[in-house]
Chains A and B, each alone.
Chain A
Amino acid sequence: MGRLERSFVIVNSLGLHARPAAMVVQASNRFRCEIQFEKDGLQINAKSIMGVLTLAAARGASVLVICEGDDAEQAMAAIGKVFESGFGER
């Protein structure tokens, strides 16, 4: 059982809007571990789209990703990739 924490900054201009949220949630759902996102004291389940949307993270906002479970490492890598790519947007 591992627990990993890493911060990511939203880089695309539109922020974490609906489509990117769906991308992140899909990435999260491929793993068994518990994944939480945290922003401004609000912690949500990264496997649910409504939760991710609630963050309303704009460009420049920092989101803390917490993975806990067997495949935490792989999950963090996959989610990190999605964040760092700016959700395939500019």
Chain B
Amino acid sequence: MGALLDDQKFDLRLVLVAGARGLSRKVSSARIQKPGLALAGFTEYLHRERIQVFGNTEMSYLKTLPRERRLEVLQAFFAQDVACLVVTKDIEIPEDVTAAGEAAGVPVLRSSHLSSTFIENIQSFLEDQLTASTSMHGVLLDVLGVGILLLGKSGIGKSEIALDLVMRGHRLVADDIVEVKRRTQDAVVGAGSEIIKHHMEIRGLGIINIKDLFGVAAIRERKKIEIVLELCEWDPEVEYDRLGVDDRKFRILDVEIPMLVVPVRPGRNMTTIIEVAARNHLLKLQGHHSAREFQERLNRAIALPSEGGGGGTEVE
């Protein structure tokens, strides 16, 4: 609840009018409710976990009631233990309403927005606040429009690789701490934390500000994570993917994201490899799967050894 009042980003324009002691209440539903009929006594479908919005309709209706009835209605409404009440359009809130809210310990707030605008904004706000989130240790970059999350042990060179990519004109979203939120059923979006945003630590240089050093085009506020790329030390015992035919997945907040495990070794230009990974991803989005197409081509060639006489010649 407290977060409602502190918010700047979603332009809610809320002012607390009464019921401050109820500010620790929790809103657990991303939907709001216009109580309408509940004021006429039909309180069965009143959802206590939702934010209740009173617009012109509700306020005018209350005004038409004789005072006694009005108090009764308000008491019945607040007795449902609703999360909070928001009156929109900056409508003057009668004493009766604030008193009833205060008595029930339900925050009564006012917004200067029209009901429709307010509902739109509050819904985005609630979705943002109530969605699953986590933070991850890694670097998130926008490489050719593809969101790539670099993972790997501390000291493997994630930040250095990211810096190299920024030098090539790609964009940094977050270094080290990536705050991840689930946007839709199958998309997760990462952003930097408020404090260290646009900063990076490079061993030997210290903390640097990417935005100041490279300009606004070198950074990005948030980006959907499309590839997870894990950097690991080259281990001769481990078999690395040599074909790329099978797609590996990495789960973040129950969303499966394509994953690549790339060994780091001196002489392997990681920046180039990551840029190519992004290009390859774009190709896959367009329906071209290089590895699988190659495999099919090879299979065709093997299946038709004698035709054309040359063994592996293309038939098409």
Contact = CB atoms under 8 A, between A and B. Distances in A.
Contacts of B201: 48-50
A45 interface: yes
User: What band does the interface of chain A fall in when counting residues whose beta carbon is under 8 Å from B?
Assistant: 10 to 19
A56 B197 CA distance: 13
Interface in B193-207: 193, 195-196, 199-201, 207
A86 interface: no
Interface in A13-69: 18, 29, 42-45, 47-51, 53-54, 56
B66 interface: no
Interface in B104-162: 135, 137, 154-155
Contact of A42 (B135, B155, B175, B196): B135
Contacts, number: 38
A48 B196 CA distance: 12
B154 A50 contact: no
A50 B201 CA distance: 7
Q: How large is the interface on B (under 10, 10 to 19, 20 to 34, 35 or more residues)?
A: 10 to 19
B207 A48 contact: no
B226 interface: no
B177 interface: yes
Given A50-B201, A53-B196, A54-B196, A45 B137 contact: yes
B176 A48 contact: yes
A50 B155 contact: no
Interface of B: 135, 137, 154-155, 175-177, 193, 195-196, 199-201, 207
Interface of A: 18, 29, 42-45, 47-51, 53-54, 56
Given A50-B196, A56-B195, 4 more contacts: A42-B135, A50-B199, A51-B137, A53-B196
